[in-house]
Amino acid sequence: MSAGFNQNEIVPDNYKLLISEDQIQKRLKELGKQIANDFKGQKPILIGVLNGGFIVLADLIRYISIDLEIDFIRISSYGDKRESSGHIKILKPLSADIKERSVIVVEDIVDTGLSVKFLQNMFSAFDPKVLRFATLLNKPARNKIDADIHYIGFDIEDKYVVGYGLDDQQLKRNLRSIYFIE
């Protein structure tokens, strides 16, 4: 796949490759197939969690071979810090009505699990028919909350990762692979 530009131009020396572009796409294809099978005959709505989840959602939906809708929600995460404050605010609410709908919330990464728990509580109150969570990355060692996540791309170690929508102080979201910072 063509990267469009030489990614090394914006990869600092202390970034180490963790998951390549090809590995990400291969895994999203598998998850897309699984979702299409699980929701056959329904028109699920996939909700991307901004900012990080926008690239995952964009690529994932193109591997799902059934009709679907999308929406986005934006919640505050870490600001420019690398630790969760635990206080979550809604910065952009949902536009769609999810009552009696099949809903799949798409996250970039589950770290402490606090964001997923917050969204689980909030979306459940709208009475969806089905509510599932998907995440490209999960850090089991960091999970504080036993959040129920149905679709997981990769379990990774407790390292801060960047690229593919994930930021390093708001930068590097445009990298096609995922790196950890050494």
Residues tagged active-site: 111
Query: Applying CB under 6 A, which part among 24-32, 57-65, 97-105, 113-121 lies near ligand IMP?
Result: 113-121
Q: Rounded to an integer, what distance in angstroms lies between the CA atom of residue 64 and that of residue 32?
A: 5
Residues 173, 179, 180, 182, CA torsion sign: negative
Q: Which is nearer to ligand IMP, 115 or 120 (CB)?
A: 115
Residue 78 near ligand IMP by CB under 6 A: yes
Residue 154 near ligand IMP by CB under 6 A: no
Backbone angles phi, psi at 64, to 5 degrees: -105, 115
Least Å from the CB of residue 66 to ligand IMP: 26
Q: Rounded to an integer, what distance in angstroms lies between the CA atom of residue 106 and that of residue 125?
A: 18
Residue 161 near ligand IMP by CB under 6 A: yes
Residue 109 near ligand IMP by CB under 6 A: yes
Q: Which is nearer to ligand IMP, 77 or 120 (CB)?
A: 77
For 126: left if phi > 0, alpha if psi spans -120 to 50, otherwise beta; the answer is: alpha
Q: Tokens in use for 80?
A: 């420019």
Residue 113 near ligand IMP by CB under 6 A: yes
Residue 169 near ligand IMP by CB under 6 A: no
- Is 111:139 a contact under the CB 8 Å cutoff? yes
